[in-house]
Amino acid sequence: MVLLIKIIDMIKAGVLGAGHLGKIHLRLLEASERFELIGFFDPNQKSTHALAKEKGYTTFESEAELIKACDMVDIVTPTLYHHQNAINAINQGKHIFIEKPIANSVAEANEITSLAEKRGVLGQVGHVERYNPAFKAIKDAVTQPKFIESHRLAEFNPRGTDVPVVLDLMIHDIDVLLSVVDAKVKTVSASGVAVISNTPDITNARIEFENGCVANLTASRISLKKMRKTRFFQKNAYIAVDFLEKKVEVVKMKSAPEKPEDFALILENAQGEKKQIYFENPQIEESNAILEELEDFASAIQNNKPVTVSLENGTLALKLAYQIMECCKV
């Protein structure tokens, strides 16, 4: 009996941008068994040469040379450059992984998405919380949420202040929200305050969907403590996710049996209906979310299958983010 083993070639990956997140992507791509890291390009030549010398990465003299040499371009540049970087790569027939937000405007995002479809290349947006092990553990349990509450708080860091807090932090929760609510947005209201930056540093948004679901999102980058928590409320269930600590809490309610077990937790409402409370502890598998999203994209390329976070998903998240920011204008 002869066993046939399918050998899948490693994907040649190049990184555009070698800032804080770019360095993380370089390290993970080099360690990945699905990618062959061919090198990177960053216009800051001083830091480029220092990084190449320290880590042994190959550097390229131009963006065009890097794109030409690879199969997939990992775009980890500042948001302002995402559009042109993506267009350049797509026009050369390269697949693109592009960090969130997908672009600086909805028009740019639409152009990226349209061109990728036209040229037949795949694209994925780096909404990394989709791969957070805590969220993955409960995602299937979130079925028809009616109220969602999210708090994403961070200490002040000048690195992210080139964009409003909605594009820097809240967009993570916007993407999570859109991934679990199967309905169109009906209305959006929001308020934001620019405390330190020239754009809002703290924003609260209320989003109503056509199916009746309501979401309340808060994001701040001037908090004294970090927090990344989301709670989902649906009929007979309460589900909480701590994205930072990677913990979950699942509480479900069912009609109480006539003869409940000893120590069973029973609640009775004003109508005399009795519900028994059950606590579930979903297994959380440890993983590196960034590595997982990159390798998931590699799998989509190698097996010609849909990506998990598509360019369309990234565009919808960006569109809602801009609706929120529009509400914050005085």
User: What average pLDDT values come out for the chain (330 residues) when binned by 10 residues?
Assistant: 54 96 97 96 90 94 97 96 98 97 97 98 98 97 96 86 87 98 97 91 97 98 95 95 96 80 75 81 93 98 96 98 90
Residue 121 lies in a domain: yes
Residue 72 lies in a domain: yes
Residue 204 lies in a domain: no
The number of angstroms, rounded, from the C-alpha of 294 to the middle of its chain's C-alpha atoms is 12
Give the strand pairing for 72-75 and 95-99: parallel
| Residues 135, 326, 124, 42, CA torsion sign | negative
State the pLDDT at residue 8. Answer: 58
Q: What is the total count of domains within the chain?
A: 1
The residue range of the domain holding 113 is 11-127+291-307
Give the strand pairing for 227-234 and 147-153: antiparallel
Residue 2 lies in a domain: no
Q: Residue 25's domain is classified under what CATH number?
A: 3.40.50.720
State the pLDDT at residue 7. Answer: 46
Residue 175 lies in a domain: no
CA distances from 168 to 81, 99, 181, 194, 219 (A): 15, 11, 22, 14, 9
How would DSSP label each residue in 136-201? HHHGGG--S-SEEEEEEE----GGGTTS-HIIIIIHHHHHHHHHH--S-EEEEEEEEE-SSSSS-S
The DSSP bridge partners found for residue 224 are none
pTM of the model: 0.91
Ramachandran assignment for 204, one of left (phi > 0), alpha (psi -120 to 50 degrees), beta (any other) = beta
Residue 141 lies in a domain: no
Residue 263 lies in a domain: no
CA distances from 35 to 22, 55, 291 (A): 16, 17, 11
Q: Is 146 exposed, middle or buried (0-12, 13-18, 19+ CB in 10 A)?
A: middle
State the pLDDT at residue 160. Answer: 65
State the pLDDT at residue 1. Answer: 44
CA 183 – CA 213 distance, rounded (Å): 9
State the pLDDT at residue 3. Answer: 45
Residue 267 lies in a domain: no
Task: Extract the tokens encoding 10.
Answer: 């490693």
